[in-house]
Structure 1
């Protein structure tokens, strides 16, 4: 149940990163919904961030299914056994569909990737709610570690201020799709796969969802391909279709942006947290 406009206001919750720090200090368990584009959810357990979901980057489900690591039938069976979706990670491991260590790596990678994706946009507002189940298998990370990893990724991609966000928004196409000379000879398989999906209709996000790979990893590959002149920005004409890549979570599920500390707009009666709930 969402609780808004009640409870004690968070003293230092001027933005989402500050909010996460306060939640960490109070060892809170909750779900933070942040509206905006792309929007999503942050899942906090005992003050640590354990998962984030956003349409801006593939989540654990998308990484497992789109990459072919797990089949649709097996995934549906797992979901049917846990209608609350609270123990999906345990069920995946128990059925031998993915190893415990591997799932932990995937879970942590998806968390960092979602944080990176959301750092590239300014959220509209946030709201703290009761905790809801989230697919994850990690002990959680501190807000400082999360922000540090986001900063590291941005620095690896940045050429100039705003260039990372611009790269994320840009539709790209391979030079071969544009009818220009270019060769993929000698490229790693992952680069060739990115090239194959660079058709001018999708962004890095679309390619990441199509391949079942992280957004950051795909953007790093695109930066390399751009430097080699094998892909180029593409501005679609008015009659081209908009991007239609599959999303890993519903577009209605909002998310937080613990990246470059953007300032969400406060909404009266919403930007406050519920009273901590007692534990049995």
Structure 2
């Protein structure tokens, strides 16, 4: 419990229970999550409308890195709304993105951030007053959010812990002598991921570099792994987080070779914070 909480939260032993309690109380607030990667969960009238985390690109990253909106146009939008309460409306009013398209991107970024947060255990969290954030959707229930996270993890899981491992592993192209199919026959999105897998970038780094969702990039990496086109980078990292640049590769040539069902993070009952954990990426 933190200062500013209007009612006692009946059960906040983990993030899902906290969101359920906020839903019951129709609260509007921001939940600040600390840890690796940590982030913010934005709740309006009990519904989750946005999440932000260093573990996955947000709306801004998806719009800018993909080239959907230019840096100059984005800077002008931000300058017009210093409170950042009306960024979504400003983007639509200026004709930079359609209302329907922005809603799809907003929901996509929300689900992707929830997925990224589910791959690690937070150190702690606190409920604060609502913080302005960029979003354009009506909000989703905690049940829908958790269901989508579980679906994504089940889709990628090969064995317990394999999804988190895939997210934090640095990938590099496989030797050309072991290729199972010509690279130039791959879809453009697979070639882009292959070009970005330089041995220094994790799935998260690649997602930021390309302006794509983490989940989508991990699906493509699994495809490339299954076909022997990429492999884990074997150089020891001593458990340190990736420091690879998250900018897109300068060129992406066709021949470029350069847990069971899960919920959002949990913490131990009766503790103000979970034990510190080693960063996993």
Aligned to 1:243: 243
CA distance in 2, matches of 1:35, 1:120: 14
Map 1:64-143 → 2, pairs under 5 A: 64-143=63-142
Report the CA distance between 1:6 and its aligned residue.
Answer: 6.4
Aligned to 1:62: 61
Aligned to 2:213: 214
Gaps of 5+ in 1: 248-257, 269-280
Is residue 2:184 matched to residue 1:173? no
Number of residue pairs the alignment of both structures matches: 255
Cα distance, 1:242–1:122 mapped onto 2, change above 3 Å: closer
Report the CA distance between 1:10 and its aligned residue.
Answer: 1.3
SS at match of 2:184: coil
Is residue 2:37 matched to residue 1:38? yes
Cα distance, 1:30–1:217 mapped onto 2, change above 3 Å: same
Deviations 1:93-137 (A, max 9, x none): 000000000000000000000000000000111100000101000
SS at match of 1:34: strand
Report runs of 4+ in structure 1 exceeding 4 Å deviation. Answer: 5-8, 237-242
Report the CA distance between 1:4 and its aligned residue.
Answer: 3.4
Is residue 2:263 matched to residue 1:259? yes
SS at match of 2:198: coil
CA distance in 2, matches of 1:69, 1:5: 39
Report the CA distance between 1:62 and its aligned residue.
Answer: 0.2
Gaps of 5+ in 2: 248-261, 274-281
TM-score normalised according to structure 2 size: 0.85
Alpha carbons 2:117, 2:265 under 8 Å: kept: no
